[in-house]
C-alpha cells in the first residue's frame, strides 16, 4: 500500500511539473516563437533552472490567459506560501539584529 501511494504521489508530481513546463512552453512560444521556446524550456529543464519555468508559467497564466493573480501564483509557485513566512522572518531578524561590523575576537585581519 505504501509503495502504491508513493508511486502515485511521484506520478502526480511529475505530471504537475510536466504541465507547468507545457504552460511555460506555450507562453514562451507566443512571445519568442516555437524554436526559441522549445530551446529555452529544454535548457532550463536540463540545467535544473526551475525558476525560469515557474516565472514563464506564471507570466503565461497572468498575461496570456488572463487568469487572476491569486489563482495563477499558487499554480506557478506552489511552495511560495510555505517559504514566504520564513523569508519575512529572516528579513525582519536581519533588520532587528544586524551583524557586527567589527571582526570577531581572535580573528586574523588582512591575512
Phi, psi of 12 (to 5 degrees): -65, -40
pLDDT of 15 reads: 95
Q: Give buried/exposed letters for 26-51 (b at 16+ CB in 10 A, else e).
A: ebbbeeeeeeebeebbeebbeeeeee
Q: What is the pLDDT of residues 50-106, one digit of tens each?
A: 999 999 999 999 999 999 999 998 888 888 889 999 999 999 999 998 887 777 677
pLDDT of 24 reads: 96
pTM score of the predicted model: 0.73
Compute the Cα dihedral for 89, 95, 101, 105 and give only its sign: negative
Helix 80-96 and helix 69-76: axis angle, to 10°? 90
What is the distance between the alpha carbons of residues 95 and 70, in angstroms, rounded to a whole number? 29
**Residue 32 near residue 41, CB atoms below 8 Å:** no
Amino acid at each position: 500500500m505504501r509503495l502504491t501511494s508513493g508511486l502515485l504521489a511521484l506520478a502526480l508530481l511529475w505530471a504537475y511539473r510536466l504541465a507547468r513546463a507545457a504552460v511555460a512552453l506555450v507562453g514562451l512560444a507566443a512571445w519568442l516563437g516555437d524554436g526559441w521556446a522549445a530551446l529555452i524550456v529544454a535548457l532550463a529543464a536540463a540545467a535544473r533552472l526551475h525558476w525560469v519555468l515557474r516565472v514563464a508559467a506564471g507570466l503565461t497564466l497572468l498575461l496570456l490567459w488572463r487568469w487572476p493573480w491569486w489563482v495563477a501564483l499558487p499554480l506557478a509557485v506552489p511552495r511560495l506560501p510555505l517559504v514566504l513566512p520564513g523569508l519575512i522572518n529572516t528579513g525582519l531578524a536581519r533588520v532587528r539584529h544586524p551583524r557586527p561590523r567589527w571582526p570577531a575576537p581572535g580573528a586574523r585581519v588582512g591575512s
